[in-house]
Amino acid sequence: MLPRSREAFAEAQRYMPGGVSSAARAFGPVGGDPPILAVGEGARVRDIDGNDYVDLVMSWGPLIRGHAVKDVVRAIAETAAKGTSFGATTEHETRLARVVVDRVPSVELVRFTNSGTEATMAAIRVARGVTGREKIVKFAGCWHGHADPFLIAAGSSALSLGRPDSPGVPAEVAKLTLVAPYNDAAAVEALLKAHEVAAVIVEPVAGNMGCVPPAPGFLEGLRDTCSRFGACLILDEVITGFRVARGGAQELYRVMPDLTTMGKTIGGGLPVGAFGGKRKFMEHVAPLGMRVSQGGTLSGNPLAMAAGLATIGPLDEKAYEALEEKGRYLAEGLKHASLTVQRVGSMMTVFFTDRPVRNLADAEKCDTKRFARWHRAMLRRGVYLPPSQFEAFFVSLAHERADLDKVIAAHRESLAEIG
Ligand SMILES: *Cc1c(COP(=O)(O)O)cnc(C)c1O
């Protein structure tokens, strides 16, 4: 079907494990070969065979304004022309840091990293350093990047591979990670009663078992429990930050974490991450206070900072209203009696179950074989979706009514085809 893509992917597999640079990109869960993408423009991507797709992956979240947005590309090019990296403070960082601190309610100081993984790694180190405790609590189905402490009941790629816990994670490390069911604040309270816990880390809207919104009272319950037991509450806003609201999920749900991790959207498609929070914690990040170790040769890279600023800088309340409206329109169009469509703003998932999905156990009841057939049918009709049931997909400001209508029409035909 895609002769050049097939050949190119075979070539990729000769030199790279699975032909990918990140496990979630492999088409294992849905079957077939991935199209090899060459061009992105607005809401569309084109593969090397010349096929055009409406993109709902959007680089797994970062491209909130779409592909190759002119002023973002210009900002990157103009910055690059003056030097790609200095390993020293530049004004690009300060500008982006000011936007983060201004918009994200709980963040008073912020440190930039190269990825979301680096941000979550550092955030728990800070929490452990400041509290003097070692255990952390995470939720089944939440993904916080690929650092050892988080590869326990992690979502997305690990889930789809049917191997939630990775070989290579020392048992001694895994032992320090306690796991609770998502949307179950009472389970967390029980854990915090029984253990000395440094931090509870949570995706305020889960995206990595598919889109699972927080139940009413869940985040507030975590905030209250963490405060009572002296644990640090970390909101992992790598997806939700600058995505579900201008100030992220903490603004939308009015929950003040101690630390926040960010990534994806704040780099506008370049490699980036960040962690930040209250002074009480952040003033112990090296070189300050207790000097909790953290560093990175390319951290705060000028190109990433410029791309991030150009991407999130212009996002005003109007932009979030537009994202909500586009998200609502698409989700309405995707509704079907045999499916559950879950959405927060412009992030959503079509679950192949007729029941609500509140946690990992619910998500695992989905008909993943039917999802795989749907995914292939959608791809043939020019809709590019994440190749797993356990992922969220994203609408950007570049998605026009015509793009969304194309997705909805493809969906109706695909459901008719797969039965
Ligand atoms: C993507 C993601 C990460 C990891 O970010 P990377 O930049 O891929 O390392 C962490 N947490 C959440 C919630 C994510 O979705």
Q: Is the CB of 236 under 6 A from ligand 1?
A: yes
Using alpha carbons, list the distances in angstroms from residue 241 to 51, 252, 357, 399. 32, 10, 22, 20
Inform me whether the pLDDT recorded for 42 exceeds 60.
Answer: yes
Inform me whether the pLDDT recorded for 163 exceeds 90.
Answer: no
Sign of the Cα pseudo-torsion (285, 290, 294, 297, in order):
positive
CB 346 within 8 A of CB 327: yes
Which ligand 1 atom is at minimum distance from the Cα of 120?
10
Q: How far is the CA of 237 from the centre of ligand 1 (A)?
A: 9
Q: Whose CA is nearest to atom 5 of ligand 1?
A: 116
CB 246 within 8 A of CB 82: no
Q: Whose CA is nearest to atom 11 of ligand 1?
A: 144
* Residue 41 counted as domain residue: no
* Residue 36 counted as domain residue: no
Confidence of residue 152 (pLDDT cuts 50, 70, 90): confident
Longest dimension (CA), the chain: 62
- Which pLDDT value is given to residue 153? 75
Inform me whether the pLDDT recorded for 158 exceeds 80.
Answer: no
Q: Tell me if residue 6 falls in helix, strand or coil.
A: helix
Residues 26-55, mean pLDDT to the nearest whole number: 96
Q: Is the CB of 271 under 6 A from ligand 1?
A: no
**What are the two backbone dihedrals, phi and then psi, of residue 312, each rounded to the nearest 5 degrees?**
-90, -25
Q: Provide the 8-state DSSP code for 55.
A: E
Confidence of residue 18 (pLDDT cuts 50, 70, 90): very high
Confidence of residue 172 (pLDDT cuts 50, 70, 90): confident
Q: How far is the CA of 269 from the centre of ligand 1 (A)?
A: 13
* Residue 327 counted as domain residue: no
Q: How far is the CA of 265 from the centre of ligand 1 (A)?
A: 11
- Lowest-confidence range among 161-170, 282-291, 348-357? 161-170
User: Can you give the residue range of the structural domain that contains 185?
Assistant: 70-312
- If one compares 114 and 28, the residue with the highest pLDDT of the two is 114
Residues 39-68, mean pLDDT to the nearest whole number: 98
Element (H, E) at 109: strand 109-113
For the domain that residue 151 is a member of, what is the CATH number? Answer: 3.40.640.10
Q: How far is the CA of 273 from the centre of ligand 1 (A)?
A: 8
Q: Domain total for the chain?
A: 1
Tokens of 304: 């990433």
- Which pLDDT value is given to residue 156? 52
What does the mean pLDDT of the chain come to? Answer: 95
* Residue 374 counted as domain residue: no
- The proportion of the chain whose per-residue pLDDT surpasses 90, expressed as a percent, equals 92
Q: How far is the CA of 61 from the centre of ligand 1 (A)?
A: 10
**Residue (of 349, 351, 350, 345) closest to 397 by Cα position:** 345
Inform me whether the pLDDT recorded for 160 exceeds 70.
Answer: no
Per-residue model confidence as pLDDT tens digits over 75-93: 999 999 999 999 999 999 9
Q: Is the CB of 19 under 6 A from ligand 1?
A: no
Per-residue model confidence as pLDDT tens digits over 401-412: 999 999 999 999
Per-residue model confidence as pLDDT tens digits over 189-232: 999 999 999 999 999 999 999 999 999 999 999 999 999 999 99
* Residue 44 counted as domain residue: no
Instruction: Indicate the top mutation candidate among 156, 203, 238 to test ligand 1's pocket, ranked by most ligand atoms within 8 A of CB.
Output: 238
CB 23 within 8 A of CB 390: no
Long-range contacts of residues 146-154, Cβ cutoff 8 Å, at least 24 apart? 146/117, 147/117, 147/120, 147/121, 148/173, 148/174, 149/121, 149/124, 149/173, 149/174, 149/176, 149/177, 150/120, 150/177, 150/201, 152/177, 152/179, 153/179, 153/360, 154/208
* Residue 187 counted as domain residue: yes
Q: How far is the CA of 367 from the centre of ligand 1 (A)?
A: 26
Q: CB neighbours of 229 closer than 8 A, spacing ≥ 6?
A: 192, 193, 197
Instruction: Indicate the top mutation candidate among 144, 159, 240 to test ligand 1's pocket, ranked by most ligand atoms within 8 A of CB.
Output: 144
* Residue 288 counted as domain residue: yes
Amino acid, single-letter form, for residue 202: V
| Axis-axis angle for helices 218-229, 185-194 (nearest 10) | 10
- The proportion of the chain whose per-residue pLDDT surpasses 70, expressed as a percent, equals 97
Q: How far is the CA of 341 from the centre of ligand 1 (A)?
A: 23
* Residue 400 counted as domain residue: no
- Lowest-confidence range among 86-95, 125-134, 162-171? 162-171
Residues 329-355, mean pLDDT to the nearest whole number: 98
Q: Is the CB of 239 under 6 A from ligand 1?
A: yes
Inform me whether the pLDDT recorded for 164 exceeds 90.
Answer: no
CA 42 – CA 356 distance, rounded (Å) = 32
